[in-house]
Every structure is written in C-alpha cells, then in structure tokens.
Amino acid sequence: MTSSAIALEEVVESVVAGHRGKVGPLLPVLHSIQSIYGFIPREAVTLLAGTMNLSRAEIHGVIGFYHDFRTEPPGEHIVHLCRAEACQAMGARRLEQHARERLGVDFGETTADGLFTLEPVYCLGNCACSPSIRINEETYARVSAEKFDQLIADLETQE
C-alpha cells in the first residue's frame, strides 16, 4: 500500500469517526473529504463503503446526484457562472457561451493546463448586478465578455 493510500485511509477513518452516531452522515462525510482533497478520490468510495457499511453504488449514487461533488481534481481556479433567471435576463446565456469558447471547456470540465474548472451555479445572491460569476471565493458583478476575458487573463499571468 502506498503512503498516499495510507494517508487517504487515515483521512477517511478520521472523517467518518467525526460523524459517527449522526443521522445520515454520508453527505457531511463526502463534503469533508472533498474539502480536504478538492474532489472525492475513487479509492475513498471503496474505503467509505467498508467503513460506513454502505455499498459503493449507494455512495456513487449520492456523488452523482449532487452536482457539488467532483470525482476528478478541479483546476487551480474554479469559475462559477450563475445560471439563475435574473442573470439569464441580463445576458448570462451569451456569457456562458463566451466562457465555454474562451476556456475551451464545458461545464464540469477543466482546461488542459489545469488552471480553470468551469461550473454552473444557480444563484450567487447578486441578482441586482447580473450577470455574475464567482472565481474561487470572489464574486464579480455585471460581467461582460470583455470583463470575463480580463479576469481570466489576470489569473493566467499570475501563474
């Protein structure tokens, strides 16, 4: 067993132990693992199944149902594009198309250089300043194609 597999096993055991006795602990366990690794490693599913007395299918079902969970490492920067009605009314559909073309990926995908992952989000709570995006933890308002390009270019030059 590799040292990373041992570390993963220890992390899974620790996270599960922290939720033992709680009703319905799978969601918070998965969120905890994803917050540590940035995604749910494939090997974690097998470990969780054994530790939590669940089938791998049950765990995969939960991961697949909730769009917040990832099974692949995300890019260095996560770009959340709001798809809620207020943003759509203010041009978010055009911005979505532009973002896909600019980054060369679709929702849920990561650029080949590993810098950006494009994700949909269904409200950033910034409706009065639509369309909005969030990059990592920073929310941007009234985002045009030009503003999007500038934000992305700024991050690319930081690398």
User: Which CATH number belongs to the domain containing residue 152 in this structure?
Assistant: 3.40.30.10
Q: What is the pTM of this model?
A: 0.77
pLDDT at 67: 80
Domain boundary among 43, 65, 87: 65
Asked whether residue 57 falls in the same domain as residue 128, the answer is no
Residue 111 pLDDT greater than 80, yes or no: yes
Q: Report the number of distinct structural domains present in the chain.
A: 2
Domain containing residue 21: 3-65
β-bridge mates for residue 48, sequence order: none
Mean pLDDT of 109-114: 95
Residue 43 pLDDT greater than 70, yes or no: yes
pLDDT at 5: 56
Residue 121 pLDDT greater than 60, yes or no: yes
Angle between helices 42-52 and 56-65 (to 10 degrees): 120
Residue 132 pLDDT greater than 80, yes or no: yes
The answer as to whether 35 is a domain residue is: yes
Percent pLDDT > 90 in the chain is 85
Residue 159 pLDDT greater than 80, yes or no: no
The answer as to whether 21 is a domain residue is: yes
The answer as to whether 72 is a domain residue is: no
Asked whether residue 110 falls in the same domain as residue 151, the answer is yes
Regarding predicted confidence, which is higher, 45 or 3? 45
Mean pLDDT of 105-119: 95
pLDDT at 80: 96
Asked whether residue 82 falls in the same domain as residue 148, the answer is yes
pLDDT at 4: 58
pLDDT at 24: 85
